[in-house]
Amino acid sequence: MSLAGEQAPSSTRQDSRRPGARPVVLALLGASVAGAFPAFARAATSAYVGDMACNSCHEDKVRSYHGTAHFRTSSMPTSDTIHGKFGPGSNTLMTVNPNLYFEMEADERGFFQTAHLRSSPTEVLTRSERIDIVVGSGRKGQSYLFWDGDQLFQLPLSYWTGLDGWVNSPGYTDGRADFDRTIGPRCLECHAGRFESRAPPRNRYNVSSIVLGITCERCHGPGGEHVDRFSSATPPRSPAERAIVNPARLSRARQLDICGQCHEGLGTSITPPLSFVPGDELDRHLTFAKLAPSARVDVHASQVQLLERSKCFRLSTTMTCGTCHDVHAEQRELTPFSSVCMTCHAIESCRRFPKLGRAIDGKCVDCHMPLQQTVQIISRVDGSSVRPMVRNHQIAIYPDGAAGSFQLTP
Ligand code: HEC
Ligand code: HEC
Ligand code: HEC
Ligand code: HEC
Ligand code: HEC
Ligand code: HEC
Ligand code: HEC
């Protein structure tokens, strides 16, 4: 039990992390660029400059992108970014342990999670830690992190959007107050823009180096050279001189690798964090267990493997994530995705068409990419487990009933 008596939350280290501050990070990249890499892209490996450096010329893209879940997937704590509630009536979580409950409080020092543990009839131990980083846009839920010196830890409670309430963080045991779970670089690699790791233990970072929100340069590579060239008196004229990676110009495999940094599962890192640069082969940085074609892949964060299993992907040469997604804008309507199916399939090709007719129009995704429960993220609350629903990216034929959300209303 990691509960200390009356441990005061530290309030130092604040200054380097002003809310909203997005430090310009300069990082030199070494040998990770493959030899076969196009010359223009190699020139672009000079410096990371951050999203706001793109704003003067790509203002619409920046504004639109900053409204997406990618950008909001990590943030400084504010009453807007934290979805969990601090008001009376919704700021406590009881546990299966009658002697332990959690309380959430907000004051001018910040937002806190406090564990109260009755250790004897006369003694109550408390441990209180401040939310320093918010992880998750809140579409499904959020987890919260805190600093202890330069070490980053997870807080015991998360927020679950489906329940609009606090739950034990995924994988935590109900009835325990665990403040010891370390946050390693892979978590930040998928949920933040940039950061600098320090010598072990694995959860040590240069605190002021962390850039929250996924940045443009995670998909486009370092942009310093590109900005310089377009700010100069003789801006580039051909795409080859632009010194930036446009994923659309890469092979399908290298395009998938960009998304696969974070959407191909956890993997095992074989190079230091953030070594991958768009255009690289992901395999040189991360290895993924090779699964038998029939093995069950969890639908959480494994969209690449699942899509690759689809006939649509295997028997076409063009399908990538970008066939359906524009990552620079929020996409919330389901119907437009079905129009994408219709670029390769006629509605009549569905074997349900003879029976259901036009009722399937705009509903292709409901039956062929059903929402399913993940087996991976599990939170325990009130003695039962909650799991989010995720979109299965294996486009295929599913038994009737797999598509829970399908409504036969024309
Ligand atoms: C000084 C102006 C300027 C700045 C700053 C700038 N860009 Fe550009 N960028 C351009 C211009 C001009 C083009 C050419 C595209 C066009 O003609 O529409 C371009 C093209 C691109 C392309 C497409 C390249 C291709 O080969 O098709 C990408 C991707 C891109 N920029 C990303 C970024 C990112 C990311 C940043 C911030 C790190 C950034 N740009 C900052 C001016 C700029
Ligand atoms: C391999 C990349 C990867 C790693 C590692 C990872 N995540 Fe995620 N996480 C994702 C992706 C992708 C999603 C959203 C899509 C999905 O669920 O398939 C997600 C979703 C989430 C969400 C829900 C966000 C929302 O609002 O829907 C939370 C909260 C979250 N992750 C927290 C964490 C924390 C905390 C860690 C580290 C301890 C972590 N994740 C590690 C990729 C990752
Ligand atoms: C999650 C990955 C990802 C992020 C983050 C991202 N992009 Fe892109 N971007 C892409 C992909 C993929 C393409 C090529 C497909 C396309 O045109 O949408 C692209 C294309 C572009 C292009 C050229 C095509 C066009 O529409 O003009 C520009 C310019 C661009 N991105 C700028 C930005 C800027 C600026 C940011 C940050 C505000 C950003 N991108 C963030 C993935 C990303
Ligand atoms: C640096 C890690 C990273 C990269 C690279 C990345 N993603 Fe994501 N993506 C995430 C995380 C984390 C989430 C969950 C965001 C949340 O809701 O908190 C996510 C969410 C999404 C979503 C759901 C958006 C929503 O509105 O709920 C889509 C779609 C998506 N990613 C597609 C892509 C595609 C396509 C690419 C490649 C062009 C890509 N991603 C590259 C980490 C990444
Ligand atoms: C880039 C083209 C392309 C797109 C886009 C596309 N498909 Fe396919 N799809 C194919 C090809 C090629 C096949 C294999 C040949 C066939 O069955 O027609 C296929 C096969 C299928 C199958 C049969 C699968 C099986 O396992 O037997 C279904 C169902 C299907 N697609 C549904 C969809 C749906 C739904 C969408 C939209 C979410 C979609 N497709 C988008 C090209 C595509
Ligand atoms: C109500 C659920 C449902 C909807 C909506 C639906 N499908 Fe299907 N589709 C099925 C089922 C079930 C099968 C397999 C039927 C069988 O084998 O008897 C199928 C078969 C297919 C096939 C494979 C045909 C073959 O010969 O192998 C394709 C392609 C397809 N659907 C495309 C689509 C497209 C495109 C849409 C949207 C316009 C769509 N489906 C909408 C349930 C649906
Ligand atoms: C054939 C179309 C199609 C392709 C190709 C596709 N997606 Fe999606 N994706 C969807 C649909 C439909 C949704 C559900 C959108 C919604 O519910 O709002 C979705 C949702 C997501 C989400 C949110 C997860 C969730 O469960 O809510 C992520 C993350 C994502 N896609 C990533 C990817 C990545 C990465 C790729 C490439 C490997 C990819 N997608 C390729 C259609 C597609």
Per-residue pLDDT reduced to its tens digit, 223-278: 999 999 999 999 999 999 999 999 999 999 999 999 999 999 889 999 999 999 99
Are 274 and 194 in contact by the 8 Å Cβ rule? The answer is yes
Q: How far is the CA of 357 from the centre of ligand 1 (A)?
A: 46
Tokens encoding 71: 């950008």
Q: Is there a single domain that holds both residue 200 and residue 302?
A: no
Q: Is there a single domain that holds both residue 230 and residue 314?
A: no
Any domain includes 10: no
Q: Is there a single domain that holds both residue 109 and residue 221?
A: yes
Any domain includes 8: no
Q: Is there a single domain that holds both residue 29 and residue 161?
A: yes
Q: What is the pLDDT of residue 39?
A: 36
Any domain includes 263: no
Q: How far is the CA of 235 from the centre of ligand 7 (A)?
A: 36
Q: Is there a single domain that holds both residue 233 and residue 305?
A: no
Q: Is there a single domain that holds both residue 212 and residue 352?
A: no
Tokens encoding 108: 């001018």
Q: What is the pLDDT of residue 296?
A: 63
Kindly list the protein residues whose Cβ atom lies closer than 6 A to any atom of ligand 7: 256, 259, 263, 303-304, 307, 319, 321, 323-325, 332, 334, 337, 340, 365, 369, 390-391, 393, 395
Does residue 242 line the site of ligand 3, with CB under 6 A?
Answer: no
pLDDT under 70: residue ranges of the chain: 1-46, 291-301, 375-378, 383, 401-410
Q: What is the pLDDT of residue 289?
A: 81
Q: Is there a single domain that holds both residue 166 and residue 19?
A: yes
Q: What is the pLDDT of residue 301?
A: 67
**Total domain count, the chain:** 2
User: Taking the mean position of all CA atoms in its chain, how far away is CA 97?
Assistant: 32
Calculate the alpha carbon distances from 395 to 99, 313, 314, 319 in Å: 48, 9, 11, 12
Q: What is the pLDDT of residue 125?
A: 97
For 129-158, the pLDDT digits (tens) are: 999 999 999 999 999 999 999 999 999 999
Q: How far is the CA of 35 from the centre of ligand 7 (A)?
A: 33
Any domain includes 71: yes
Any domain includes 81: yes
Tokens encoding 188: 């930040």
Tokens encoding 331: 């996409």
Any idea which residue has 């390693």 for tokens?
A: 184
Domain that holds residue 368: 290-391
Handedness of CA 72, 74, 80, 82 (dihedral sign): positive
Q: Is there a single domain that holds both residue 244 and residue 297?
A: no
* C-alpha–C-alpha distance, residues 245 and 8, integer Å: 47
* C-alpha–C-alpha distance, residues 191 and 262, integer Å: 8
Buried b (16+ CB within 10 A) or exposed e, 183-197: bebbbbbbbbbbbbb
Any domain includes 123: yes
**Cβ neighbours of 16 (radius 10 Å):** 12
Q: Is there a single domain that holds both residue 173 and residue 226?
A: yes
Are 368 and 311 in contact by the 8 Å Cβ rule? The answer is no
Q: Is there a single domain that holds both residue 215 and residue 320?
A: no
Any domain includes 45: yes
* C-alpha–C-alpha distance, residues 334 and 290, integer Å: 32
Q: Is there a single domain that holds both residue 39 and residue 173?
A: yes
Q: Is there a single domain that holds both residue 126 and residue 177?
A: yes
